[in-house]
Structure 1
Amino acid sequence: MTVPDTDERATTTDEPSARRAQTGADAAWPELMRLVFGGMASRLVGYCVRLGLPDAIGDDERTPQELALRYDARADTMFRVLRALAALRVLTETTPGRFALAPMGALLRGDRPGTLRPLARMLTDPAMTTAWDGLAHSVRTGEPAFDGIFGTDFFSYVGGRPDLSELYNAAMSQVTHSVAAAVAERTDLAGVRTVVDVGGGDGTLLAAVLAANPGVRGVLYDSASGSAEAAGNLRRAGVGDRCRIEVGDFFERVPADADLYLLKSVIHGWGDGRATGILRHCAEAVAPGGRIVMIDHVLPDVVGPAANALAYLTDVGMLVNGQGLERTRGDLERLCGKAGLSLEDVTPLPPTDFHWIESRPA
């Protein structure tokens, strides 16, 4: 038998693996390009929403000439924007030169229930995108880049910009709308007399819980600015007579003697020190036999093929913008332990990516 020389053996042995590597690279190339160009796509969607294109198109079809006239722009450059949005599946080019909203574009209309318009505008605001320029600083130091760039912390900055504050509150309300029904369905309020929604914002979550449980009373606990829209929303939901609004600071205290404390998207907004303090206040205030429930994302221990990339991007976004982070179940167990709580249940809340995270005093 003739033995191939060294070069021949290497070539023969490596050919299948080389082909596999090339095939993998070919398959990965388009996906990587989508990530690399993702910043451009985000900026384009942000421009589309700030301009008001989804509302201008509505249920109709529009030409570049019509939209250029409306926005005092050039028809040829408007066409380039519209076809790029169509390539991103935000719009559809129904016939040459005529554009309608695709399903994604319809989600950006301001007049539609469940609109993502405020969230899209907020996340593409220059203040939100500029903070990412300091990612290297945040990774190196663990400090939010936002503070150094803008000279103040994120929430103080938002509070000083009424336009961004309005977008932030509307975006958080919409996210809460998406999970409120699942929380109301999941919540077992047998034996519960009073629910406190800590950081309850505009009352969306508490309204859903009280509407599903006619015998229960509620307390919405938030800052004056955070709860400004709550009274009207609770009244319109028909639960205003069973709920009171209490203004306060959850870093200092929470209302006492309730049977259930709900904290939706509160704990993930803060580092372990401040998050532990909030939970400790709840542990000290809860009535005997009561529960403290967080509604948040829970990261798996290992990033698998089906991982929700948005949760991880949110995590890094909180690194550059503030003090918060997304946590695994193990992280939450340790956090609860520091606050004098025992983590008892972590259950997904489909169809959302949120989890029901239940604890009791240890």
Structure 2
Amino acid sequence: MRQDDGDRPGAERAEGGAPDTGGAAGDGSEDGFRRSAAHLIDEALGFLFPAALRAAADIGVADHLADGPRAPAELAAATGTDADGLHRVLRLLATRGVVREDDRGRFALTETGQALRGDVPYSARTAVLMLTDRTMWRPAGELTRCLTDGTSAFEALFGMPFFDHFAQDERTAAVFHVGMAAMSDPENALIAAAYDFPKAGTVVDVAGGHGGLLLEVLRRNPGLDGVLFDRAHVLAGHRLGAAPEVAGRWTTAEGDFFEAVPPGDVHVLKRITHDWDDDRCVTFLGHCRRALRPDGRVLVVDAVVPAGNAPHQSKALDLMMMASLAGRERTEEDFAELFRRAGLRLSRVLPTPTVLSVVEAVAA
């Protein structure tokens, strides 16, 4: 039911993407309140777009559009789904430019929608499935609980903390770890290129998952060795061994970063600090500080929440962290305080071409 901006009342947009109301209080007229109501109702229906996107990802419909447009009946037969229902899902996705319907009622995948395929580089399909999984979706619907109780909604809904749930079996863990790898893969080469790593030494990728970022760092820096550090069930899916160009320059290490981390010259933590509250972040950042070799650095690779009203992915992810985990997205000032408490000092923040920045710390 989302209309084109040009057709929707009050659709004029200010620079930040929010409706231009002409001031904090608006004009106070009946028409102004009517426009406000229309806008808010339209926004409240917005959750149906990720629901449609998940359904399309789940059945793999994009893979059947790789060779050109097809009718809903053909796509339904290929995916084992209902033709009418599939048409309605695709029609909504077309309003956001994921697919396009032609005058013959056939749907084609757009350039924007290409990464919904599972057979392309940087496929986002498993990332979409992770981000819209019930473990993210259900707690998001309970944000009021977070406001009234001051805690994550996850444990009340699932009976255990977030990471305990994802560690309980291989299938459940795959949703998270494979999805996170898919979310990270398009970023890794860009992040590795954005930072001037030392010419020699050891990079420890702390809670590095399947090793995508460490692989890109080692590819670009032939004088470096790497350690991929994570839990055993995560390391089982690592990809370092499939890259002959870094052979002999990496090892894996099993462990828990709340207890200790391996020694190294650079400790990298990508999308880790946002999962945890301040006290727990200080614990593992303190372990990194103690494991740093002389002149070493700790690199927190995470979103840095900007000031102001402009849209930024960190502001949406922050609510996911609040609902499902115990963490938060942080400002530059927040990171400086975490580092101070861990015996580190924030030295600089380097933007990257992605939504993430490299927040560098050295020993205080």
Identify the TM-score tier after normalising by the shorter chain: 0.7 to 0.9
Question: Does the alignment pair 1:154 with 2:162?
Answer: yes
Does the Cα contact within 8 Å between 1:179 and 1:349 map onto a contact in 2?
no
Question: Does the alignment pair 1:335 with 2:338?
Answer: yes
CA distance in 2 between counterparts of 1:35 and 1:192 reads 51
Alpha-carbon deviation of 1:59? 2.3
Alpha-carbon deviation of 1:283? 0.6
Alpha-carbon deviation of 1:84? 2.4
Find the partner of 1:313 among 312, 316, 337: 316
Q: Give the number of equivalent residue pairs.
A: 340
Which structure features the higher share of helix residues? 1
Structure 1 pair 127–260 and aligned structure 2 pair: CA distance change class (3 A)? closer
RMSD over equivalenced CA pairs, Å: 2.3
- Return the TM-score normalized by structure 2: 0.86
Moved more, 221-230 or 312-321: 221-230
Find the partner of 1:248 among 255, 260, 269: 255
Alpha-carbon deviation of 1:88? 3.0
CA distance in 2 between counterparts of 1:146 and 1:187 reads 35
Alpha-carbon deviation of 1:41? 1.2
CA distance in 2 between counterparts of 1:99 and 1:78 reads 11
Does the Cα contact within 8 Å between 1:192 and 1:260 map onto a contact in 2?
no
Does the Cα contact within 8 Å between 1:211 and 1:237 map onto a contact in 2?
no
Alpha-carbon deviation of 1:138? 1.2
Opposite residue 324 of structure 1, the aligned amino acid is: G
Question: Does the alignment pair 1:124 with 2:129?
Answer: no
Gaps of 5+ in 1: 1-16
Partner of 1:113: 121
Runs of 4+ in 1 over 6 A off after TM superposition: 17-30
Question: Does the alignment pair 1:194 with 2:166?
Answer: no
Gaps of 5+ in 2: 1-24
Structure 1 pair 201–19 and aligned structure 2 pair: CA distance change class (3 A)? closer
Structure 1 pair 290–46 and aligned structure 2 pair: CA distance change class (3 A)? same
Does the Cα contact within 8 Å between 1:194 and 1:259 map onto a contact in 2?
yes
Moved more, 70-79 or 240-249: 70-79
Does the Cα contact within 8 Å between 2:188 and 2:216 map onto a contact in 1?
yes
Matches within 5 A, 1:338-349: 338-349=341-352
Larger Rg: 1
- Return the TM-score normalized by structure 1: 0.87
Does the Cα contact within 8 Å between 1:201 and 1:222 map onto a contact in 2?
yes
Find the partner of 1:281 among 287, 300, 309: 287
**Identity of counterpart residues, as a percentage?**
34
Moved more, 326-335 or 123-132: 123-132
Does the Cα contact within 8 Å between 1:207 and 1:234 map onto a contact in 2?
no
Alpha-carbon deviation of 1:247? 0.7
Question: Does the alignment pair 1:97 with 2:105?
Answer: yes
Opposite residue 316 of structure 2, the aligned amino acid is: L
Partner of 2:308: 303
Structure 1 pair 191–121 and aligned structure 2 pair: CA distance change class (3 A)? closer
SS in 2 for 1:88: coil
Does the Cα contact within 8 Å between 2:199 and 2:221 map onto a contact in 1?
no
Question: Does the alignment pair 1:272 with 2:274?
Answer: no
Opposite residue 336 of structure 2, the aligned amino acid is: E
SS in 1 for 2:317: helix
Partner of 2:8: none
Partner of 1:44: 52
CA distance in 2 between counterparts of 1:261 and 1:155 reads 22
SS in 2 for 1:219: strand
Structure 1 pair 254–65 and aligned structure 2 pair: CA distance change class (3 A)? same
